[in-house]
Amino acid sequence: MTTDTTGTVARDGEPRPGGPADSPFVRACWRRSGPHTPVWFMRQAGRSLPEYREIRATVPMLESCRRPELVTEITLQPVRRHGVDAAILFSDIVVPVAAAGVDLDIVPGTGPVVAEPVRTLADVERIRPITRADVPYVDEAVRQLVVELGDTPLIGFAGAPFTLASYLVEGGPSRTHAKTKALMYGNPELWHALCGRLSEVTLAFLRVQIEAGVSAVQLFDSWAGALSEADYRRYVLPHSTAVLSGLADAGVPRIHFGVGTAELLGAMGEAGADVVGVDWRTPLDVATHRIGPDKAVQGNLDPCVLFAPWPVVEAEVRRILEQGRAAPGHVFNLGHGVLPETDPEVLTRVVALVHELSHRRADQG
Ligand code: CP3
């Protein structure tokens, strides 16, 4: 059970009725029924919102992640505007890696760029283990947010070892992950040393967020879909398992997400997830079949559908809610992050529609 510094969890371990641990979002993650299907959006805090663009106009990305007052404000923006069922901490997957001593920056329009890509064991050993003292701004922001959010749950997150390793080995975003795979196949010992170190950093980073009061965590393995199932199991699964299983006693649901992972859904669930994220390529009923009946699912609206006329969006929302009923728990979300050009009004309408349709269904029994 988590340390109860926040009132999220009552002393006897039962969630406070109506509190964040009893929210529709957390209930769905634990496969418990709730008043409606919960909905939030990956990258809900970001460039689709004019109020976000205004704040970020003069502050670089990494700096904004290190200023608790900005993190708090940006995290709250989509909750205020859309009425989503959960907030996600405003940060980035490379924040803990930078705290561990890696020289990197987030370049607008490109993404994370690493000054000296990892090539040797000495490079791996320079990635230091982290503690709360290395990320005080995250601890502080989460504590502030838990107070501001009240009964709305806050999701903490981190990047999974493979996706982080890809940025560190490539030096930046990559379409093919060629250098990453070359290292993985060519020098498995170094690969496992790198992923082992990254899983320690990630686990410590998620523990800081849990101790500060987040109600759930999501492990983003955005690029894992670049691997076959056999290679995923051999080179990646042990490290993601170290992170997720390392949180088994934490008392908060663990979401595991990737893109293009149709073939990996079962394995990603095995890593120790309570909820498996599904992109738009696999219908939720099919995904549930692959993942098994003991895990909830999250997803799977194509972010590009939000650019279609409203009747198309509505039909897709209906289809996903319907197919999501095959799962023991469903958190409505996109299959990947909100694209910057998205009209935020459409997101607000999707939230209202998900709530309305899933309520009606419950009323009808
Ligand atoms: O609302 C949320 O989901 C929380 C915020 C969040 C960000 N990054 C903020 C951000 C989250 C969860 C992330 C995780 C992240 N970062 C992932 C995993 C999720 C995914 O999208 O697959 C990855 C792969 C990254 C790495 C990264 N950081 C990329 C590819 C980019 C985009 C580069 C660009 O400019 O197009 C970033 C930068 C970033 N992280 C932005 C935001 C809001 C954009 C920076 C800006 O506003 O200038």
* pLDDT single digits (tens) 1-39: 344 444 444 444 688 999 999 999 999 999 999 999 999
Q: Which two tokens stand for residue 216?
A: 């759930």
For residue 78, the ligand 1 atom closest to its alpha carbon is 1
- Determine if the pTM surpasses 0.75: yes
CB-based contact 125:101 (threshold 8 Å): no
CA of 92 to the centre of ligand 1 (A): 6
What average pLDDT does the structure give for the chain? 95
CA of 31 to the centre of ligand 1 (A): 28
Q: Please compute the mean of the pLDDT values over residues 278-298 and round it to a whole number.
A: 98
Query: 17 in the Ramachandran plot: left (φ > 0), alpha (ψ -120 to 50) or beta?
Result: beta
Cα separation, 112 vs 350, whole angstroms: 30
Question: Which of the residues are catalytic?
Answer: 43, 47, 56, 92, 167
Furthest-apart CA atoms within the chain: distance in Å: 62
Q: Which two tokens stand for residue 278?
A: 């599904």
| Residue nearest ligand 1's atom 10 by CA | 92
| Residue nearest ligand 1's atom 42 by CA | 46
CA of 43 to the centre of ligand 1 (A): 7
What is the pLDDT at residue 361?
55
What is the pLDDT at residue 229?
98
Q: Please compute the mean of the pLDDT values over residues 336-359 and round it to a whole number.
A: 98
**Cross-strand pairs, 30:** none
Q: How many CA atoms lie within 13 A of 239 on its CB side?
A: 26
What is the pLDDT at residue 14?
80
What is the pLDDT at residue 6?
45
Give ∠ CA 343-348-353 in degrees, rounded to 5: 125
Which residues have CB under 6 Å of ligand 1? 42-47, 56, 61, 88, 90, 92-93, 106, 108-112, 157, 163, 173, 220, 222, 337
Pocket test for ligand 1, best of 106, 209, 336 (most atoms within 8 A of CB): 106
CA of 46 to the centre of ligand 1 (A): 8
What is the pLDDT at residue 360?
63
Q: Which of the residue ranges 2-16, 115-129, 131-145, 279-293 would you say has the lowest mean pLDDT? A: 2-16
For residue 52, the ligand 1 atom closest to its alpha carbon is 47
